[in-house]
Amino acid sequence: MGFKPSPYNTGQAMLMAEEQIRGDPLDCDNIFHFDLVVFNRPGMLDYTPSKPWVFKFRSVDNHIAVDFFVYVDDVRTTGFSLESCWQCTRKVASMYNYLGIQDAPRKRRGPSLEAGPWAGSIVITRGATVYVTVTVACWQKAKGQIQWIHDHIIEGKMLCHKTLESYHGFLVYVSRTYPSLVPYLKGIHLTLDSWQGNRDQDGWQIQPSPAELALLDHHLAMPSEVPTGAPSHVTLVPLLVSDIHALMTLLSPALPPLRRARPTTTAVAYHGFGDASGLGFGTTLQLGTDGAHYRHGQWYTEQSEQSSNDRELNNLILAIEESVGNGLLVGGELFFFRIIQPLSPVSIVVPLAVALCLTSSYA
């Protein structure tokens, strides 16, 4: 550290150290030994959702290979048993010390199926099922930040730009563990940028006109559009109200929930099809030998006047929500694929139906 390209030098040195620590993967006496890379992808006949999509495998004892991962300056080791974890940790620590890289034994944790927070998440293994969550302190902090924004909305106050920017960064950090939060961060993002030029009343950026683009090409700017830096306070955009309401609902549990990252069971893939015309809609879902589940109906006037894309998507969302509510998809993993037939001499056919592939890890 200390040189101008120090991040590059440091990263390069760590990668060299990793290569030396791992050693020869074909050496059976090496704790990091593996002789096969297994692809476990959704849609494969032998797909197992309780295992990673790609992993190193040891044929000598039929286990997933021991490995370690580096996040900035923190290392986490993994293994298929208590002993393998200790051997892996010892090899990493001793080699780092040998290479002159600092290691702090006081910070070391013993092997555990609930090893505590790391890189923003807590990974919990129960049986063969893997869950992720966050600390209670992190969860309460996120709830407090959303409550702060909600209180300002209710009171009709402007939002402090610096505070909102800090809260937005932390919520993005939490959304790495809970991806369902991501769609509802847009209102905060638009509010943060609402002071900039070329924005409509909802905060969305307006496409510059040809004349404005020509001025930008000559490194000029419209006098009224020259940004002067972020103000101390910003006015909320309309989308923020509904987004904060959704975030308060998602963050309503008193304790951080466990999000199932990997389930244990498998199932054969089946398909569901749906269609939505101008006035009506319908979907089918087949699960195992339980028969086909069919739903149909007519749109109310306001929905029937929406675009066909809106009706098609809404039809699928409603079908999934109803199936989850009826307990049909508990323990399943959903994948949606748009079916596109191969090129033909006549045309390309894109059916309206969207396939639903059900495996087994929907939570």
Q: From CA 138, how far away is CA 283, in angstroms rounded?
A: 40
- Amino acid (one-letter) located at 66: V
Q: From CA 239, how far away is CA 243, in angstroms rounded?
A: 6
Give the pLDDT of residue 170. Answer: 95
Residue 176 pLDDT class (50, 70, 90 cuts): very high
Residue 167 pLDDT class (50, 70, 90 cuts): very high
What is the Cβ-side half-sphere exposure of residue 216, based on CA atoms within 13 angstroms?
Answer: 9
Q: At what angle do helices 136-155 and 161-175 cross, to 10 degrees?
A: 140
Residue 265 pLDDT class (50, 70, 90 cuts): low
For the cut 50, the answer to whether the pLDDT of residue 352 exceeds it is no
pTM of the model: 0.71
For the cut 70, the answer to whether the pLDDT of residue 94 exceeds it is yes
Give the pLDDT of residue 188. Answer: 93
pLDDT tens, 309-346? Answer: 888 888 888 888 887 888 777 766 677 666 555 544 44
Give the pLDDT of residue 135. Answer: 93
Give the ranges where 156-271 is alpha helix by DSSP (H): 161-175, 186-192, 210-217, 238-250
Give the pLDDT of residue 217. Answer: 61
More confident residue, 222 or 14: 14
Give the ranges where 69-160 is alpha helix by DSSP (H): 82-98, 136-155
Q: From CA 267, how far away is CA 234, in angstroms rounded?
A: 50
3-state SS assignment for residue 281: strand
For the cut 90, the answer to whether the pLDDT of residue 297 exceeds it is no
Give the pLDDT of residue 346. Answer: 43
For the cut 50, the answer to whether the pLDDT of residue 212 exceeds it is yes
Give the pLDDT of residue 340. Answer: 54
Give the pLDDT of residue 66. Answer: 94
Can you read off the two tokens belonging to residue 295?
């739903």
Q: From CA 25, how far away is CA 33, in angstroms rounded?
A: 4
3-state SS assignment for residue 108: coil
Count of CB atoms within 10 A of residue 85's CB?
20
Give the pLDDT of residue 344. Answer: 47
More confident residue, 214 or 304: 304
Q: From CA 175, how far away is CA 212, in angstroms rounded?
A: 37
How far from 25 is each of 15, 32, 57, 58, 75, CA to CA, in Å? 16, 6, 11, 10, 20
Q: Taking residues 276-302, report their average pLDDT.
A: 76
**3-state helix vs strand vs coil in the chain, percent to 5:** 35, 20, 45
H/E run at residue 133: strand 129-133
Give the pLDDT of residue 3. Answer: 62
Give the pLDDT of residue 88. Answer: 93
Q: From CA 139, how far away is CA 81, in angstroms rounded?
A: 31
For the cut 90, the answer to whether the pLDDT of residue 68 exceeds it is yes
Q: Taking residues 253-278, report their average pLDDT.
A: 72
Contact 280, 299 (CB under 8 A): yes
pLDDT tens, 188-199? Answer: 999 998 888 778
pLDDT tens, 17-54? Answer: 999 999 999 999 999 999 999 999 877 878 888 888 99
- Amino acid (one-letter) located at 222: M
3-state SS assignment for residue 28: coil
In 3D space, the residue among 106, 113, 91 whose CA is nearest the CA of residue 29 turns out to be 91
For the cut 50, the answer to whether the pLDDT of residue 56 exceeds it is yes
Give the pLDDT of residue 349. Answer: 37
**Percent of the chain scoring above 90 in pLDDT:** 37
Give the pLDDT of residue 71. Answer: 81
What is the side-by-side strand order in the sheet with 63-64? 36-39, 54-58, 63-64
pLDDT tens, 127-161? Answer: 778 899 999 999 999 999 999 999 999 988 889 99
> pLDDT averaged over the chain?
80
Residue 146's φ and ψ, nearest 5 degrees, are -65, -40
Q: From CA 135, how far away is CA 120, in angstroms rounded?
A: 9
